[in-house]
Amino acid sequence: METKLLSGALGAEIKGINLKDTSDKNIKKINDLLLEHKVIFFRDQIINAEEHKALAEKFGPLETHAYVKGLDDHPEIVRIIKAEDEQNQWGENWHSDVSYNAKPTKAVILKSIKIPPVGGDTCFSNMELAWETLDEEIKEKIKDKKAIHSSLGAEFFIESYKKMEGNKKRNYDEYSNEHPIVRTHPETGKKILFVNWTYTKEIIGMDKKESDEILKKIFEHQSRLELTCRFTWTENTVCIWDNRSVIHFAIADFYPGRGLGHERIMDRIAIEGDHPV
């Protein structure tokens, strides 16, 4: 096995692991790599939908998305199709997937189907490191506080969901939940900064003005480039990210008006998480 780090902060590209092997031994190896690097990438993985699901199921029950319909044959797989002329990009800002749910996603297994010749990278940021390096005064103010996460906080996301190809309108109701700002990783016991620009709206028990100011500082801090890694996709790459300990940002730099106008297709399976504590 070969491991190539993507940055000093997080992320690794792994060679020499067969993702079709779902034996307990192989899954433990993958999970250990995931906990160590927080986001891991495997290039040139020719796996079909069943194999994609079989791999994901080893990490826990699969999740369905409140707003987005999965594939007809495989409802657990959301096909994220960004058409050549589409202006919106799914995931186009820092976020942790569905943090507005009572039990936000544990991990995501994303497989690239079609990648633009240029652009369309995804960035990840390490929220364990973000907590460790956060200003001490802010830490003191927020360490025992909770924040509200809301699905409708991010209008652009809802617009993207509506436009997604094959997505029959389900509902666009609001989902909202409170979570500790600092959560403890259930597997590593490490502290994690669990807020994100897209969905976190307000710190509970704090004056709104102060809450806005502190959240703004935290959002700036958690997107500092030295906490991040950036991955340039090739087709048939499988990425697994620990959605509890990273935030991510899919860069939409391949559209008309911004650049080039290329299609990008990804298959996404999410694994159910637990109540953050």
Residues that bind ligand SIN in the complex, under the rule CB under 6 A = 80, 90-91, 97, 122, 248, 250, 266
Give me the least distance between CB of 76 and ligand SIN, in Å please.
15
Distances (CA, A) of 230 to 2, 80, 123, 179: 19, 19, 4, 27
Distances (CA, A) of 119 to 108, 163, 262: 21, 21, 9
Give me the least distance between CB of 141 and ligand SIN, in Å please.
29
Query: Which tokens hold the place of 260?
Result: 């080039």
Judged by beta carbon, residue 131 or residue 231, the one nearer ligand SIN is: 231
Give me the least distance between CB of 64 and ligand SIN, in Å please.
14
Judged by beta carbon, residue 182 or residue 250, the one nearer ligand SIN is: 250
Cα distance between residue 246 and residue 164, in whole Å: 25
Amino acid letter for position 65: H
Give me the least distance between CB of 139 and ligand SIN, in Å please.
28
Residue number with the smallest Cβ distance to ligand SIN: 91
Judged by beta carbon, residue 92 or residue 182, the one nearer ligand SIN is: 92
Give me the least distance between CB of 209 and ligand SIN, in Å please.
31
Judged by beta carbon, residue 55 or residue 115, the one nearer ligand SIN is: 115
Judged by beta carbon, residue 82 or residue 201, the one nearer ligand SIN is: 82
Give me the least distance between CB of 67 and ligand SIN, in Å please.
12
Strand 122-126 and strand 246-250: the pairing is antiparallel
Judged by beta carbon, residue 131 or residue 241, the one nearer ligand SIN is: 241
What lies within 8 Å, CB to CB, of 25 at 6+ separation is: none
Query: Which tokens hold the place of 51?
Result: 């194999």
**Secondary structure letter of residue 59 according to DSSP:** T
DSSP string, 213-254: HHHHHHHHHHT-GGGEEEE---TT-EEEEETTTEEEEE---S
